[in-house]
Amino acid sequence: MAMAQVEQRVTELRSLLQQASYAYYSLAQSIMEDAVYDRLYRELQELETQHPELITPDSPTQRVGDTPATGFESVTHNIPLYSLENAFDQGELQAWDQRWRRHMEIDLPNLVRYVCELKIDGSALALTYENGVLVRGATRGDGVAGEDITQNVRTIRSIPLRLNLEHPPERLEIRGEAFLPLTVFERINQERAAQGEALFANPRNAAAGTLRQLDSRIVAQRQLDFFAYTVYGATESMQSQWESLEFLQAIGFHVNPNRTRCASLDEITAYFDQWDTARMELPYLTDGMVVKLDDVALQQQLGFTQKFPRWAIALKYPAEEAPTVVEAIRVNVGRTGAVTPLAEFRPVQLAGTTVSRATLHNRDRVAELDIRVGDTVIVRKAGEIIPEVVRVLPELRPEDTIPFAMPTHCPECGEPLVQPADEAVTRCINASCPAIIKGSLVHWASRGAMDINGLGEKWVEQFVDRDLVRTVADLYDLTVDQLRTLDRMGQKSAQNLVEAIAQSKQQPWWRILYGLGIRHVGSVNAQLLTQHFPDKESLMNASFDQIEAIHGIGPEIAQAVHQWMHLEANQHLLAQLQTAGLTLNAPHSSTPPFPHSPIPPFPHQPLTNQTFVLTGTLPTLSRSEAAAKIQAAGGKVTGSVSSKTDYVIVGENAGSKFTKAQFLGVPCLSEAELLDLLMSTNPPA
């Protein structure tokens, strides 16, 4: 075959395959038998193998995935990916409608059209096309900058590599949502279970994790889907959002068919109520409905706030609740001696994750609920993050249930429990309680504290149960011979652990202070304290007033630190640590708990004078990274919640800080909402 004929055949094959893919993935129509598609695909693949100079980025063969990448580059979005303001009820929807009308400062005709689109629960992507060819796919990131994942985006079959446009513009930007269909999600988890791998919690997490895979061949196997919903740089003749969606579908994108135009808020509410029920039958997850003004000219006049488009809002479904049956109520003793009741119940699905237990917080909450083993209860995720028991259904209570009573003695050591007059929490105050010792050792070895590699709960359990260790100072006396007596501990493992413990002697003073587990002293407060009291002697000799005078250290923290430092047993512990070779003083340039971020300060400082507290495990950011972003935007991160705290950023397994924030009425945000807030660092011109 002559070269000209090869080139012509390659062009024909690409055109046929692209037409078939567009019909199948965007129009849900099959215009070609699978066997025919496979034969044509193999023919194209063979021709490109024989003539690699003919391979182009938009060829259908380029979807299968390439060799693993070593990392992702950060890219700045040409147009920021703004987040959406949320409305949780009809009143908030009406308030939004009134706001944008007031902003116009002109009389508008009563008939204003809105477009309602389902809000897909996935990961936002920004796609860039030049002359009709996909040149970049990026994650949302913080809205200003994301990661270049073009290699992975090419594997998503509902994203065209070349647009179906005869005369494409020089540049087009497409925004949309990548997601995993539920059947695909179930298949992936079945495969992971069979291979002994950890299961994905929900399709959203699975989609986000898949997009950040360094090996695009794995991404191709995961079969992500994509719905497009916004286009920038298209023809100016489009006058409405509805036309934009039709344009996106015409040029090759998969656009969600479940959308409508409404002429009133009542119509919007009726459509929303319809999908609040019907969404359960969809093959993908949706977490709300996006309402946009249809008129593009009106959108342009309204523009954006520092965070949101004024012309759109996300109407969120009510918090998902589920009934289940309480199988047990247990109490957990933490490292500070706090005794927390936990309800264990039959597993239920909530907000895309399986939930089987929830904290009952304290004695007062247990009494308020009158919760018993055997009760049917309603559970939900507070803020879609923390599982909680909302209420008991006493009408379904079995006759033989027994009221639950908090124990009077510690279930771990048998000592009497106490409830301080100013606290709702019941505590064990026995410093020799095995649960407190174990919790203290695990905290000491944790990554945020002394970062002792390899020292986890399973070894701590044996250390304490065999009476090898009673305090953190005892760790530094352990020998290889002692460790070899532990179950499943070999010579090499014992040697490595002893070396890791010895290496921790080099950790700075603030990490030691944090690792000691003084109540209310997190890593941020430990850094503040060591900046003002650079060694153990100065902190021991500090008065309550001197400690409280530190900006960011309130009376509760000051009292806890002052009391701890004046206990003879604790002074003896510090002396033991110093004798073991730890450095209980701060060098002139100690490492901060949240290392300075490579993120440069934002030119706008909208978070100035705003105070944040971080608690729990965030989905994609470490707490250090989240703190760095807040600080770069002018905000301040502290370690404790007070009435002066502006926001608490809440992740999975959040603890008492989340509870205290709720009690004080401090706004609690998820990681996504924090990133939305940071969007205000780049307001439109």
**Which residues does the annotation mark as catalytic?**
119
Q: Specify the DSSP class assigned to residue 595.
A: P
Q: Identify the CA nearest to 83 among candidates 319, 381, 290, 257.
A: 290
Q: How far apart are CA 332 and CA 340, in angstroms?
A: 5
Q: Is 177 exposed, middle or buried (0-12, 13-18, 19+ CB in 10 A)?
A: buried
Q: Answer for the pair 560, 520: CB distance below 8 angstroms, yes or no.
A: yes
Three-class SS string for 305-336?
CCCCECCEEEEECCCCEEEEEEEEEEEEECCC
What backbone torsions phi and psi does residue 111 show, to the nearest 5 degrees?
-85, 95
Q: CB pairs under 8 A, 24+ apart, for 564-568?
A: 564/516, 564/518, 564/519, 565/539, 565/540, 566/540
Distance CA 433, CA 420 (A): 18
Q: Which amino acid is at 678?
A: L
HEC profile for 188-248?
HHHHHHHCCCCCCCCHHHHHHHHHCCCCHHHHHHHCCEEEEEEEECCCCCCCEHHHHHHHH
State the amino acid at position 384 in one-letter form.
E
Please classify residue 517 by burial: count the beta carbons closer than 10 Å to its beta carbon, then call 0-12 exposed, 13-18 middle and 19+ buried: buried
Q: Are 148 and 70 in contact (CB under 8 A)?
A: no
SS3 for 455-472 is: CCHHHHHHHHHCCCCCCH
Let me know: does 542 contact 533? Beta carbons within 8 Å: yes
At 279, which amino acid appears? R
